[in-house]
Every structure is written in structure tokens, then in C-alpha cells.
């Protein structure tokens, strides 16, 4: 018997990734938009605070358990930027292309291109859950000046993985689920939920 779980996002890439992995523990994942839940405010400067706010928002408006992630790319030479502002790094409206252009321009004067994707997942049983389940993942790499690959989304085409000799956008969906920050966090979350 599968249980309904609200994903506090309308990102189809995330919905696909989460659905694939959470079906193993009998969760039927639905984007919050299916329940007419608007995007939550993300006023915080940390990933965990934003993820908690988004999970509680979705749970409050649907009356169902909710899962939120807050993730982004953190570039060491830029003091961790874009970080929590990854989706809106170049301003509104959100644009992967403009975000990538801004990041590459901001990084052009720096020798250190090291970066990492970071993800925090928060699962709440209900809106006022006093013990949210929290898991995190970190995926190390480097930023390239030119995109490579057609897969993924966000900064994936610029995120170089030295061990794989590929960008995140050149990985198969299976490889990305196994290696990524989100995949790591989701596996940790599944272990905690079991």
C-alpha cells in the first residue's frame, strides 16, 4: 500500500529523481502543484532552514506528509556562492542559462574552480512535526567555463567530475542518482525512514 507524499517543489527533474527512489519504500510522490500549493517563501540563508520552511508549507496546505529539498552549487572561490541563491543567482525570473552565465563570469578571474553541490532533505509527517527527518549530501567537483552534455538541469553541464571525466550533464540518470548530492541525501533519508 503506497502512501502519498507531497514534494515541496514543481521541478520535474527532482520529481522524477525522488519518485524513482522513494517508490522502494512505498511512497507515491506528487508535486505540490497537483494540490495547488504555491511556492513557499525561502527567506533563510541556510539550506536546512529553507527546506524546513518548504516542507512545513506543503504539509500545512495539503494535510499530508511532505518532503522538501534545498540544494545548490557552492563555489569555494566565491565564498560558497551561489549557495542557497543557486536557482535565482542571476535574479528573477529564474533562468538556468542566465545563472550559468553569471557564475562563469564571476568565476573567470579565479584560479580555484573547485565547487560542490549540496543538498538538504527534510521530511515532515505533518506541518507541526516536532522531529523533522533531515538528511544531507555533498558532491564535489569543479566548474568548467564551457558546457558539456545534454542531461540534467541547473548547473550540471558546467559541473565537472574529475573521477568520472564527465560533467553531471553527461551522466546517465542512473549514474547521477548514484553519485549526486541529492541521491546521497535521499539514500540517507530512506535509511532513516525505514
- Tell me which residues are annotated as active site: 70
Distance CA 121, CA 142 (A): 23
DSSP summary character for residue 82:
B
Pure H helices in 25-180: 47-62, 96-107, 173-179
Edge-to-edge strand list for the sheet holding 133-143: 27-31, 3-7, 66-75, 114-124, 133-143, 159-161, 166-167
Distance CA 183, CA 156 (A): 14
Amino acid at each position: 500500500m503506497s502512501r502519498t507524499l507531497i514534494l515541496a517543489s514543481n521541478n520535474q527533474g527532482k520529481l522524477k529523481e525522488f519518485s524513482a527512489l522513494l517508490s522502494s519504500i512505498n511512497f507515491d510522490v506528487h508535486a505540490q502543484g497537483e494540490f495547488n500549493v504555491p511556492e513557499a517563501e525561502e527567506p533563510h540563508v541556510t539550506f536546512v532552514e529553507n527546506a524546513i520552511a518548504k516542507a512545513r508549507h506543503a504539509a500545512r496546505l495539503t494535510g499530508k506528509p511532505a518532503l522538501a529539498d534545498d540544494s545548490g552549487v557552492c563555489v569555494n572561490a566565491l565564498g560558497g556562492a551561489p549557495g542557497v541563491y543557486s536557482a535565482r543567482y542571476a535574479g528573477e525570473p529564474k533562468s538556468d542559462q542566465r545563472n550559468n552565465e553569471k557564475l562563469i563570469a564571476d568565476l573567470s578571474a579565479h584560479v580555484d574552480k573547485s565547487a560542490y553541490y549540496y543538498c538538504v532533505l527534510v521530511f515532515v509527517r505533518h506541518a507541526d512535526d516536532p522531529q523533522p527527518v533531515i538528511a544531507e549530501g555533498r558532491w564535489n567537483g569543479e566548474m568548467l567555463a564551457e558546457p558539456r552534455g545534454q542531461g540534467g538541469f541547473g548547473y550540471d553541464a558546467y559541473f565537472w567530475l574529475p573521477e568520472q571525466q564527465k560533467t553531471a550533464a553527461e551522466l546517465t540518470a542512473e549514474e547521477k542518482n548514484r553519485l549526486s548530492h541529492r541521491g546521497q541525501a535521499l539514500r540517507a533519508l530512506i535509511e532513516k525512514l525505514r
